[in-house]
A and B are shown apart, each in its own frame.
Chain A
């Protein structure tokens, strides 16, 4: 089944830089207090431009990517899961959340130092405990979001916590009142931050962070849109290592700059020169929801069949912001072209923009997600779809069975496989590979 190369391929040049940004993010969080700074915890979707107004020395840790890092470290993940179970929490709860709680309960952080260098624990770092955040800054659209941090706060003996409800309805039904509800919560949140940290809030820093947010989310989408090209310049396994930066700190300058100045030009160049991520690309599929993190090898397995996974609504729209362009196709959302003149106005624009997030739409109806998936399947010229029925994430798996039916109705072959993004006990690699074999055969791969 090994196939001949049809296209030239090259490693991504910006790869190392992406890795460095990620490591620095965790190191900054760990070392924040040493430099007199602050650290906070919240989800990947939280409005992270807001705490940025507290100063340049305020460092976050976002829960989902951190928990995915733990998942990648099978031994640590199992310890975390078991510690959480001992506390009485059921195994079917969000597996990211269980990893995260377990890391606090066992007081084992997924990173540490080895010969003075900051590295992941599984690379032999000397163990350090979970650095306690100074405050929690979360958002809530999935049933688990606010509850996740309620438990974190309990486990840590009470950490001041603020959560913003952003579940105000689908983007095509946005109204002034919906936007204002979120804006008013953010304004209260700023008061909470000032009170909790005893710092004055700097609106100029807020404006800068919001602009970074616009750039990160739009430029990421632009890079993903380039994957419509044949051959695809990026494959999903690489995309995972790139989109993660947006999940760490989408309002961070380092992330905005990376997407705009490193990644995007490089992907544009790859398209221009016909550089493929998978040199034997013959079939194109997409996936859905988080992958089983400790089994990313299934994506390499696809390549044996000449199959490239070009991404997913998940990787495109978890952080990326999109819009329908004049020609009817899906492309990066236009960055609002305006000066910010007041906190109220900046927050209003920030919220209005963010509430269009594609990965927030299915929380209101799985049919919105089906439409978006069918759009991707058509515009990215797919041969089929691989749906991860992910037992570890109810938030992104909600409605997935209906998505399957809709994709089939639209004429796209679908392979559904069960697994878990972060609890490897629930993923059967051999069975999944057997399914892939059968699916590839359906698509016509030899």
Chain B
């Protein structure tokens, strides 16, 4: 099952024996989506749709999205029309996650969804299946938190680029397998000292981001990403499913209480204290705020995030991303930023 947004309750799919696979772009320029998505929508949603139109996810039996931002919704709706799949679902994830009524509402939506998946798969999802899925997913989250803990070290044993690869793999593979590999990785990293300078300790945050080329460029300029706030990063796995009233409502609580995407972070801006805490705990020297062009949800957020970071003494660099990034230009800006941070360290 291809899924478009990290608000999709993967546990329910996994319990049904369905493998959730996140739809990501390929970072290749294309004009295939021009007749389908107006150019003022974010490059990520167009890049994702392009993969569908190019039949690159031909192996999918189903496709789904959980209600999040408007942009990505278009990739989903165009895809299911022009490359129909056996099972498709728009799951009505509530926006007002700060409302106490969101829990019950989402649980009801899950009940319907569970029935639909059962009908499609031709078998019941038992409590045992769900419990197992929750356990596999929670273990995965715990292991990822351990991996992130290692990045707190003065010399982090793993780069931001490598972690990004781990998260992307996590969003595409069977979590049980991923757990096995993560355990191996953690063992290897336990006493590992990398053969590189850590340099400035950076955070990266903002829109959807799987641009490993950019990560690599920054990390070759005398810096290491030690933490992130991305849906292709920590926001995806930070919270676990905790024991609640029943299994579906426990899952619902997890998705409601998770670190929010900006589309759901209101009336209070709860993400800001979380980001500040990450900066403090991971001892960050500076933050790169990356923004997909035209990504309204994050555009509506970065002004206040930037201010909060700067008020907390964390310098920021703002960069606007497209399907491909002008790596040369960005390098000059990143170097200047790192130099500025370096000078601050000096005095």
Contact = CB atoms under 8 A, between A and B. Distances in A.
Contacts of B306: 88
Contact of A397 (B40, B81, B101, B263): B40
B36 A169 contact: no
A90 interface: yes
Given A163-B267, A185-B96, A185-B101, A90 B299 contact: yes
A401 B37 contact: yes
Number of chain A interface residues as a range: 35 or more
A230 interface: no
A93 B78 contact: no
A168 B92 contact: yes
Contact of B266 (A94, A163, A389, A398): A163
B81 A181 contact: no
Contacts of B100: 188
Interface string A76-108: 000000000001111011100000000000000
Contacts of B71: 394, 398
B160 interface: no
B77 interface: yes
Contact of B108 (A140, A175, A395, A400): A175
B267 A402 contact: no
A366 B37 CA distance: 11
A365 B88 CA distance: 12
Contact of A364 (B40, B90, B109, B112): B90
Contact of B35 (A146, A367, A394, A405): A405
B290 to A, nearest CB: 14
B336 interface: no
B150 interface: no
Contacts of A87: 303
Contact of B40 (A150, A161, A394, A404): A394
Interface in A357-373: 363-367
Pick from B34, B300, B303 the residue with the most CB of A within 10 Å: B300
A147 B266 contact: yes
A400 B303 CA distance: 29
Contacts, number: 133
B309 to A, nearest CB: 13
A167 B81 contact: no
A142 interface: yes
A217 to B, nearest CB: 23
A140 B96 contact: yes
Interface string B65-87: 00101110110011001000000
A39 interface: no
B174 to A, nearest CB: 30
Interface string A137-176: 0001011101100110010000001111101110000010
A394 B109 CA distance: 26
Interface string B242-253: 000000000000
A200 interface: no
B99 A185 contact: yes
B95 interface: yes
B44 to A, nearest CB: 14
Given A143-B297, A185-B99, A150 B267 contact: yes
Contacts of B40: 92, 389, 391, 394, 397
B214 to A, nearest CB: 20
Contacts of B35: 401, 404-405
Interface residues of B, number: 46
A10 interface: no
B94 interface: yes
Interface string B273-301: 00000000000000000000110110111
Contacts of A394: 40-41, 70-71, 296
B77 A365 contact: yes
A88 B303 contact: yes
A87 B38 CA distance: 27
B263 A143 contact: yes
A248 B245 CA distance: 44
A146 B70 contact: no
A127 interface: no
Contact of A168 (B36, B105, B112): B105
Contact of B105 (A154, A164, A177, A405): A177
A184 interface: yes
A37 interface: no
B257 interface: no
A184 B105 CA distance: 10
A122 to B, nearest CB: 28
A331 interface: no
Nearest to B306: A88
A274 interface: no
B38 A177 contact: no
A245 B39 CA distance: 32
B267 A169 contact: no
A399 B304 contact: no
B92 A167 contact: yes
28 contacts: A89-B299, A92-B293, A92-B294, A93-B296, A140-B95, A143-B69, A143-B70, A144-B296, A144-B300, A146-B96, A146-B267, A150-B300, A154-B304, A165-B102, A167-B94, A168-B92, A168-B105, A181-B102, A185-B99, A366-B74, A395-B70, A397-B40, A399-B73, A401-B36, A402-B36, A402-B74, A402-B77, A402-B81
Given A90-B299, A178-B92, 9 more contacts: A89-B299, A140-B266, A147-B263, A154-B304, A165-B99, A167-B95, A181-B101, A364-B90, A401-B37
- Ranked 3 nearest A-B pairs via Cβ: A165-B96, A181-B105, A177-B108
